[in-house]
Structure formats: structure tokens, C-alpha cells
Structure 1
Amino acid sequence: MIAILNRVVDLVEERLTDEIDVGGLATSLGTTEYHVRRMFSSLAGMPLSEYIRRRRMTVAAAEVIGADDLLDIAVRYGYGSTEAFGRAFRAVHGVRPGDLRRDGGPLRSQPQLRFRLTVEGNIIMDTRITDRPAFRLVGHAVRVPLIHDGVNPHIQAHVAALPEAEHARLKALSSTEPSGLLQVTADVDPDYTEGTELTYLHGVAMRDDSPVPEGLDAIDVPAGVWAVFRSAGAYPAALQSTWAATASEWFPSNPWRLRPGPSIVAILDRSPDFRTATTELWVPVEPESTR
């Protein structure tokens, strides 16, 4: 995966002034756009689309300082007007193209990225691969913004608003793996951009032919392979560290890639105050193509 991401960076650099077909790039490298975008965002700390915009504006700055017509520069970098180009330029550099041409700066450059795999060998990830038939996730769903670190207050409020009896009712409906009460995230932005909306469902897994109980939402999950990562410790810090390690350690070292689908967290055990917990993170995967 590291080699694929570096090749993507190289191809982006070669095509900065062209329309970049990320899906075509991914296919040519034997993987999928979904996996490339998710891994890039996780490892680079920014969406691929944002990296492309920053690199374009970094290179464009040298031309803005010159004597070329600003509209010609805007069109060359894929913008239909000087206004649209100016907004993108200012978002990166903090100044308008005209200000830069007059004053010569300041500039905020985005260096070309290079991904490297650092092998420590001191952390063993407790992982299993399981091939599951289709199943149905049922529970209470809500749209919330994506928050990378710490407790998501929107999810916290959603779950807290459910009466205790409803948690017990949901748990009794569980009829297949992943078992027990589940935290489900679906419809996540492929770039995993913080602040974008996702669907969060607090519920359980049922067999795919199970009727949806009255008053509950449902997400139908097709048959497929899942990577299941177990973690234990401070909650949600240990779980979030496991999330990060899947991108930085597990996927680069294993012949699997992400496929579209919900991510599921099963709480296996927890302290009374929920400060610590043992969890299983279920991530939909498929074999990485061989080339």
C-alpha cells in the first residue's frame, strides 16, 4: 500500500494542471479509489483532494509572481474564472493572487508528500478475518459530523437520549455476529474529512431475513469478508488508536484493502463508568489485487 500511495503522489505531480481521475489511477495500480482515498487521508492527515489543491496552489504561486495573465493561470490549473482560482489560492496561501503579485508574499507551500513504512515490531494487533453472510443492522440512526479525536458529543447525546429500557430491548434483538450492542458508522466520506456527515446507528445485528421492528432504522449489509480488530484500554482512546493502526500498520503489511460498507464497533466489556472497555472493530475488506 505504501508503494501505491507514493505512486499516486507521483502521478498527481505529473498531472497537476490536468483533471486527475483518481478512480482511473487507483484501477491502473490494481486497487480501488475508495481504499486509496481512505488510506491517504488516514496517513497524510488530509484528504487526497485537499492535497491536490494545496500542491496546485503551491506550484501556481510561482506563475502568479510572474507576468502571465491571471485568467490564463486559473484556466491552466482547472478553474473557470479568476474568482474561483482566487478563492482556492487564498485558502492555501492566506493572500489573494493580486496581493502576492504586488507584495511577493507571504506563501504557505505544500511540499510533495512521501510515504514510508516504519517497522517497530513491538505492537501485535489482535486481528481475525471472518467471511460473513448478509445480515441486517437495526437500531436508532442519526446523521452526525465526523470527529476524529475524542468523544463525539453528537453521538453521545443521541445514545444518552435513549431510555434504559430501549438498550435492553435492542440487546435482546441481537441474533447474529457481531453480537451485542453495536456502534455503527455508515455513509462516511471516502476522504474521511473531519466535519463531513455520516450515519451513526446504535443497534444490533440480525439475520438478513429478520423483519425490522417498529420504530427502528435498518442498514442491510451484503455478504463479505471482515477484518476484526480487538482492543482493550482507555475508552475511546484505545479504540481510536486501533483505528489509526489499521491504516499505518495493518493494511500496509497485509494483502487486504478496504471495501465500501459500514464500520462496526462491538463493546465486549466495559467498566461501570465506561472509562475503559474491550472492543472489537469490524472493518469490511477484500483481497488486494495482485499485479
Structure 2
Amino acid sequence: MDWAKRINNVLDYIEEHLDEELDYKTLAQLAYSSEYHFSRIFSSITGVPLSEYIRRRRLTRAAFELQNGSRVTDVALKYGYDSVDAFTRAFKLTHGITPSIAKKGGISLKAFPKLSLQLSIKGDTEMEYRIEQLDYELRIVGIKKPVQTSRAFKTIPTLWNTAKKDGLLQQLKDMAWENPKCTLESILGVCGKEAAILDDEFDYLMGVRYDSNPPNGMETMILPPTTWAVFPNIVDAWRRLYTEWVPTSGYELANLPCIECYYGPGHKPRHELWVPLSKN
């Protein structure tokens, strides 16, 4: 089953259950994907975050029902709002007017139609990658920092600049070569954890692979033996991963975090994105 069909199955399910609580884990299962990666795949392929798409569709339906005579209170409760005030704020943010005004008729409203996906992959630029099998636990030691999801590409470089100024980066460099073990010997940025990145904020771990006890103030993350797809150029890899590589590769992504690897001077490539693969 290709990704276009998977996403369309999810879109159909959402449409049939807009007036019910939608569980993201169920949506991910419908797409034969892990919950961790599904929201990112959805937003990359459709161009809109999953939560925002659901919100828009509910408020579009709500507007139709209000203009057909339904009561504001009934519509608010039907589409999951705890109060009329909360519904009014959301409705006004989308349509520019309050629900009571929308009921009067002759008013311009915004309709966000149901998506239907036809995935077309151009493939005009090759995407270089390799497969790495790490048959042991990956023990990463470092410091976590909160990152706003919408600002990740701006915030993360700032975190590394600060780490360079305050000495953390040099400390990580010294730790990285203490006991070399594999090709994953570099400065690492671990994106999230096992929970899905569905919220506005996630934890970003700046660290290294390290088998000794963590220094004071640092914490440890342990990842199981895993197969990884490795891509040069982190920014380009993130941009193309979910729209080009995942839909056409035949691989499934594991419910583990992706890892950004930053190598030292003279190393080619200078940085890579390691993406976990499931055993399916």
C-alpha cells in the first residue's frame, strides 16, 4: 500500500469521525505507521499539520450547520469544545466572525474542503543514503533542551552556538573520542524521544555516544539495536525525508528518535541525519 492510499484512508476516517474524539494512535495505525512519525509524514505530504487539518474541517462543518439552523451550544458540544466561549474563539479565528453572526445568513465564511491526496514524486534530484546496522544498544549522554516545534530550524543552531560559548561543545568533543566504537562517533542531536512529536514543544538532546557514567548535570538515553538509514546534509534530508524518501523507499520508520550527527573538520559529509528503521 503506497503512502497516498494510506493518507487517503486516514482522511476518510477523519471525515467520518469529525464529531468524535480522534485518537492519533488510531490514525497512525490506519496509515500502517508509528505514531512517532505519522504526524510529521502527514504534514510533510499534505502541507498542513494534522491537528490543524482536523480543526479546520470541524469548523467548516460547524459553519454549515449553524447556517442550517443548528444552535451554537449544540454545535460547540458536537465538535468537542468544552464551552461556547472556547468554540466562539476558535470559530472567530478561522472565519473572522462569531458563530451567532454566522447564523444570520448572507455572511461570507471560509470553507476548508476535505483533502484527497494524489502523490506524485518527481525524483528529479537523487537522494543519497546508506544503511547502517548497529547491533548493540546505543547509549547517548548529554543535556536536554526544550525546543518549540515550529521554530526548530532556528532554535537548534542557536543551542549549538550557546554550547560552543559555554564550553559544553568542547566537553562533548572530549567525550566523543574517549572510546570509539562505531561510525556514529560525532556530536549528536537527538530529536524528541519515544513520544510522538505532536505537541508544540519537544526535547532536543545535545550529546555523544558514551559508555561511561554521565558527568554531573548530564543524562543518559539508551536506544535499542537498530537499523538506520543515513543521509548526508541534515537540512536537505529533513526537507525531503517524508515527502520523497519514505513514500517510495519501501522502508517503515521505527518508533525511535532521529539523530543529527555533526562531524569534525575535514570529515565528508560534515553532518548526517540518522533515521531509525523498523524490522518489518
Structure 2 CA distance for aligned equivalents of residues 29 and 278 of structure 1: 34
Distance 1:41 1:21, change over 3 A: same
Do the aligned partners of 1:226 and 1:285 also contact (CA within 8 Å) in 2?
yes
CA RMSD across the alignment: 2.7
Where do 1:233-248 residues align within 5 Å?
Answer: 239-248=234-243
One-letter code aligned to 1:255: G
One-letter code aligned to 1:30: Y
Structure 1 CA distance for aligned equivalents of residues 10 and 28 of structure 2: 8
Q: TM-score, normalised by structure 2?
A: 0.84
Q: Are 2:171 and 1:166 aligned?
A: yes
Q: Deviations over 1:136-180 (max 9, x none)?
A: 111233223232545646424532333264254233336334112
List structure 1 segments (4+ residues) > 6 angstroms apart after TM superposition. none
Residue aligning to 2:209: 205
Distance 1:86 1:34, change over 3 A: same
Residue aligning to 1:35: 37
SS of equivalent to 1:126:
coil
Q: Are 2:147 and 1:144 aligned?
A: yes
Structure 2 CA distance for aligned equivalents of residues 167 and 191 of structure 1: 26
The percent identity for this pair of structures is 32
Do the aligned partners of 2:137 and 2:224 also contact (CA within 8 Å) in 1?
yes
1:103 deviates by 6.4
Structure 1 CA distance for aligned equivalents of residues 84 and 113 of structure 2: 24
One-letter code aligned to 1:136: R
Residue aligning to 2:138: 135
| Number of residue pairs aligned between Structure 1 and Structure 2 | 273
Do the aligned partners of 1:34 and 1:190 also contact (CA within 8 Å) in 2?
yes
Structure 2 CA distance for aligned equivalents of residues 63 and 285 of structure 1: 44
1:87 deviates by 2.3
Structure 1 CA distance for aligned equivalents of residues 241 and 265 of structure 2: 22
Residue aligning to 1:10: 12
1:95 deviates by 2.0
Runs of 5+ unmatched residues, structure 2: none
Structure 2 CA distance for aligned equivalents of residues 106 and 230 of structure 1: 48
Q: Deviations over 1:43-78 (max 9, x none)?
A: 233321221111010111111123221111122222
Structure with the larger strand share: 1
Structure 2 CA distance for aligned equivalents of residues 140 and 25 of structure 1: 33
Do the aligned partners of 1:48 and 1:191 also contact (CA within 8 Å) in 2?
no
Do the aligned partners of 1:183 and 1:201 also contact (CA within 8 Å) in 2?
yes
Distance 1:97 1:23, change over 3 A: same
Residue aligning to 2:247: 252
Do the aligned partners of 2:229 and 2:277 also contact (CA within 8 Å) in 1?
yes
SS of equivalent to 2:262:
strand
